[in-house]
């Protein structure tokens, strides 16, 4: 599962756990035909059995994620999940009841940023889908196979905006330059991730630990303040170290931090290790963390708390 750091997480259950995994290869844009906030969309899907999307976007740019992007969501019919396991990431956007109105500037900005993230995080290619199963970007009515009985969604005005603004903006953003934000927003996104379990550590060997759902703690472009916690169980006296590193995705180059000593496992067989770091990540750069013990030990619990500022 993957969660977009710039969206507010409002996880839909049981869908999020119950629906099968996908490998996301497409991004499909919708209008929800209701002037709803992202939270109102969440409440609607939570309280009904209607087909949900991965993301919801309000008129004011409020963006929520309901389902991880590597789990199937159900608003694109045959593109939800194909027999080969690939599928589409979907966003529903607030609109008037007939979905004839254009996206607001705030909606366009968020769609562009999300589209850029999907390119960097999942490798969705920077092109408009050429067929119903072709990897790329599209809007709901682009292919008949994406709806059960045909649809005008997201509406004429938004199809024009997709072609003139949203898709070109994603290409520009993904190839180096983010569009400038419509207003200065100094407030960071707060990220809290907690996961049970973790890897078994072999003596003296560093092991990568995903603090949440996947190995990167954070991906640029952003600045951040992060603390990673790990509960480690093993023989009393076992010494534990952690170290951060940056990974440049384009070159595969790692830049390792110095190890940080986290202390020794106590008489109760438990150590709560923690390391913190502040920094900046460039586009296509990831922050990850590794852990090492000098005897065999087991990671039992992982938590990440972070503040993230996007440019």
How far is Cα 256 from Cα 253, in angstroms, rounded to an integer? 10
- The strand pair at 55-57 and 23-31 is best described as unpaired
**Which of the stretches 41-49, 151-159, 229-237, 279-287 binds Zn ion when contact is defined by CB under 5 A?**
151-159
Whole-number minimum distance, CB 13 to Zn ion, in Å?
A: 23
Question: Beta strand pairing status for 23-31 and 86-93?
Answer: parallel
What SS3 string covers 59-72?
Answer: CCCCEEECCCCCEC
Comparing CA positions, the residue from 232, 228, 227, 226 lying closest to residue 197 is 232
In this complex, which beta carbon is closest to Zn ion, that of residue 99 or of residue 113? Answer: 99
Residue 291 burial class via C-beta count within 10 angstroms: exposed 0-12, middle 13-18, buried 19 and up: buried
Exactly one of 3, 12, 29, 30 binds Zn ion (CB under 5 A); that residue is: 30
Whichever of 22 and 153 has its CB closer to Zn ion, that residue is 153
Minimal distance, residue 77 CB to Zn ion, in Å: 10
Residue 153 binds Zn ion, judged by CB under 5 A:
yes
Q: Which is nearer to Zn ion, 49 or 251 (CB)?
A: 49
Q: Measured from the CB atom, is 140 or 302 closer to Zn ion?
A: 140
Nearest-angstrom CA–CA distance, 70 and 72: 7
CB of 55 to Zn ion, least distance (A): 13
Binding to Zn ion (CB under 5 A): which residues in 129-148? 140
Any idea of the CA torsion for 151, 122, 218, 308, to the nearest 10 degrees?
-20
> CA-CA distance, 31 to 154, in Å (whole number)?
5
Q: Give min distance, CB of 128 to Zn ion, in A.
A: 16
Looking at the Cβ atoms of 25 and 75, the one nearer to Zn ion is 75
Binding-residue total with Zn ion (CB under 5 A) = 3
Q: How far is the CB of 21 from Zn ion (least distance, A)?
A: 23
Task: Give me the residues that bind Zn ion (CB under 5 A), please.
Answer: 30, 140, 153
């Amino acid at each position: 599962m993957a969660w977009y750091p710039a969206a507010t997480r409002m996880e839909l259950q049981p869908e999020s756990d119950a629906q099968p995994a996908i490998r996301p290869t497409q991004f499909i844009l919708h209008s929800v035909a209701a002037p709803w906030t992202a939270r109102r969309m969440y409440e609607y899907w939570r309280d009904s059995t209607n087909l949900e999307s991965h993301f919801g976007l309000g008129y004011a740019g409020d963006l929520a994620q309901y389902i991880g992007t590597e789990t199937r969501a159900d608003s694109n019919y045959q593109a939800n999940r194909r027999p080969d396991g690939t599928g589409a990431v979907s966003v529903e956007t607030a609109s008037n009841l007939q979905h004839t109105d254009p996206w607001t500037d705030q909606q366009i900005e968020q769609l562009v940023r999300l589209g850029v993230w999907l390119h960097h995080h999942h490798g969705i290619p920077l092109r408009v889908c050429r067929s119903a199963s072709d990897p790329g970007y599209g809007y709901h009515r682009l292919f008949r196979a994406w709806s059960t009985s045909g649809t005008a969604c997201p509406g004429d005005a938004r199809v024009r905006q997709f072609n003139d603004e949203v898709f070109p903006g994603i290409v520009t953003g993904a190839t180096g330059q983010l569009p400038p934000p419509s207003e200065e927003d100094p407030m960071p996104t707060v990220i809290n991730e907690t996961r049970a379990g973790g890897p078994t550590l072999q003596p003296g060997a560093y092991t990568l630990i995903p603090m949440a759902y996947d190995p990167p703690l954070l991906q640029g472009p952003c600045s951040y303040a992060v603390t990673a916690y790990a509960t480690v169980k093993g023989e009393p006296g076992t010494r534990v170290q952690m170290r951060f590193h940056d990974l440049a995705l384009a070159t595969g180059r790692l830049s390792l931090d110095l190890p940080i000593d986290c202390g020794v496992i106590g008489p109760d067989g438990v150590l709560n290790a923690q390391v913190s770091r502040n920094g900046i990540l460039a586009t296509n750069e990831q922050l990850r963390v590794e852990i090492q013990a000098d005897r065999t030990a087991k990671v039992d619990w992982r938590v990440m708390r972070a503040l993230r500022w996007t440019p």
